[in-house]
Amino acid sequence: MKVEGSTGGEEGKTRKGQKREFRNGEGNNGVKLREKRKTRRRIQADSSAGIQRLFMACKKVFKGPGTVPEPAEVDMLQQLLDKMRPEDVGLSTDLPFFTSNNASIGTPRITYTTIYKCNNFSMVMFFLPPRAVIPLHNHPGMTVFSKLLLGSMHIKSYDWIDTTSNGLTQPDQLRLAKKVEDSDFTAPCDTSILYPTTGGNMHTFTAITACAVLDVLGPPYSIEEDRDCTYYQDFPYSHHVPNGETDLTAQHKDQLGWLKEIDMPKDLKMDRIEYLGPPIIES
C-alpha cells in the first residue's frame, strides 16, 4: 500500500470554451475553477502545517537518551497529536488499503513508513490490515506517543511490578506485570502515552479493521545504544500462583499477568515503504 500525498487530480481540465473563460477570468466557470484551485492549495498548506508543527514540537520536547519530557511538554505534544488528521500525513480513506474487502490469507503483513528519524526521536506510521498483530514488545528508556489515525484496534499494555519489596517469588523466565490498558480504540480518539517505566511500556496492537497508527518515539530504538526491541508472551496470573501472595496480588489478580521474553515471532511480517505524505522542512 502506498502512502500518498495530495495530488492535483483532474481539476482544471475543461472544454475549450471554458479554458478561454478561465484564462480571461470571465464567466462563472472561470471563477469556480479559481476557487477550486485556491481551496486545494489551502488544504495542502493546512496538511503540511500539521506535520510540520508536530516535527517542530518534537525537536523541542525530546532532548536525547536518558531524558523524559516534562509534563507541560507532554501535554503540548499530546494536544498536537490529538488534532492530527489522516490528511496531515497524506492518508485518505479512499486508498485501496482501507477500502479492500479481501480478507487476508494466513498471517497479515504489516506495512510501515518512517516519516522522520534522528538521534532524539522518530516519527513512524504503521498500517495494519484486519487481524494483523504487532506482538507484545517493550520500549526501553523511551517515551512513546501513539495516535490512531484511521480504523479500529485493540491495545493491551503492561508495566512491570517490583516484587523485590514484597517477597513474592517468581518462576524462572516469568516476570509479573500489571495491565495498564486492555481496550478497543476507534479513530478519532485521544493519543496514548507511555513512559520508560509507566503508562504501559510493553504493549501490543491487534487490528480490528484496517487501521493506521502514528507513533512518535523519543528516543528511537537503537541497537548501538542498547535500546533494542524485546518481545514477550503474556500469560494470565493463574498460570502460576506464587508462594506468599500479598494483598496486591490477592485483590488485583484480574489485572496481573506473567510475561515471558521470547524471540521475535517468526510470523511477524513487516514491509517498509517510502513516506509520500506532506514533506517535513528541517530548519
Please state the domain extents for the chain.
Answer: 89-272
What is residue 173's predicted lDDT score, i.e. its pLDDT? 84
- Confidence at 107, pLDDT banded by 50, 70, 90: confident
- Of residues 116 and 31, more confidence is placed in 116
The partner residues of 158 in beta bridges, in order of sequence, read 179, 202
- Confidence at 46, pLDDT banded by 50, 70, 90: low
pTM of the model: 0.78
- Of residues 101 and 254, more confidence is placed in 254
Q: What CATH class does 89-272 carry?
A: mainly beta
What is residue 163's predicted lDDT score, i.e. its pLDDT? 72
What is residue 101's predicted lDDT score, i.e. its pLDDT? 56
pLDDT > 50? residue 89: yes
167 Cβ contact partners less than 8 Å away, ≥ 6 residues apart:
244, 246
| Cis, peptide link before residue 108, omega less than 30° from 0 | no
120-176 residue pLDDT tens? 999 999 999 999 999 999 999 999 999 999 999 999 999 998 776 655 666 678 899
Average pLDDT for 252-261: 87
- At 197, is the secondary structure helix, strand, or coil? coil
What is the rounded CA–CA span in Å between residue 145 and residue 194? Answer: 7
